[in-house]
Structure 1
Amino acid sequence: MTESYEVVFQQVAVGDLLELLNALEVSSEVLSDLGVSESLGDILLAEIDKKLIDGIVSYEGDICLTGRLYKFNVSNEICLPFVFLRVIKYANGIDVELSFDDTRLFDIGGLMRIMQIYADGLSKKINMVGFYGGLEPAIDIDTRYFTGDVLGPLG
């Protein structure tokens, strides 16, 4: 059975959300299949742009933006074939999640360490409360590889 993993950027600052999503998109070869859980009127889902982000941020209520990132470069040596992107706006803030399956191409412990370094680099440029990664759902502290720069039980 294939395990699923995720990295979560917690409570990303509204003003930095577009910058974070652009950085994630630049790390991949293709971003496709954008979808949103609620209607945003005439906003097109062709690309992640300021109009789309403004629509999500100003939406009154919870909303989720999803997309698919193909050939996601975590580092110069590691490229994940597919990463599922979720942007979840809820009452307390906005989280951005990256989910992927164990590809068997990489040692998962090593891959999660590289993901920690990748997330840490982004956290230095983007205002957010924190980041963590682990088995999906990574909210479970017992199945985390890392929380910020601290290794978790699986790390």
Structure 2
Amino acid sequence: MNKTDMEFFETYKRLDRLCSDVFGLRNGGVTRYIDELKAIGYGCTEDCKILKRLRHIRNQMAHDEGTFDYQVCDRDDIIWLNAFYNRIMKRTDPLAVHYRAGRKAQNTVRNNVHHSVQHNSSRHRKNRKANVIFNIIFFLIIIACACCIYFFEFN
């Protein structure tokens, strides 16, 4: 195994540990990350494709015979793994962005519902006032009519 392959292997393990920590697993963090991407419909994204390719390289290194005889990865793979690790740490990775967007949408819906409830409550109070005023006027008219009838019948 050459120096680049060893560095790749260590960098991949570092990313796998981070993903495992994020998902509360002992191992298999990158695989779980890929599964989560697929679950939210991001399975065909470039990030997912690269993660799958790099996971395959790592599995070749760990399980196949003779992979130490030739270079399996290149420097760009290590750079990508480090960049992806940093994206997860900064919460700019695809899953973090997806879930953050989902929470914003939920908050928007929650705020719209709250505003609608307040608006309906305000409208309800106005309608209630109008109903009370109408009932008072109607009651006064009934009393006035009753007084007129009483007055004209007995006079």
Q: Give me the TM-score of the superposition, normalised by structure 1.
A: 0.25
Greater Rg, structure 1 or structure 2?
2
Bigger share in helix: 2
Bigger share in strand: 1
Structure with the larger RCO, 1 or 2 (CA within 8 Å, 6+ apart): 1
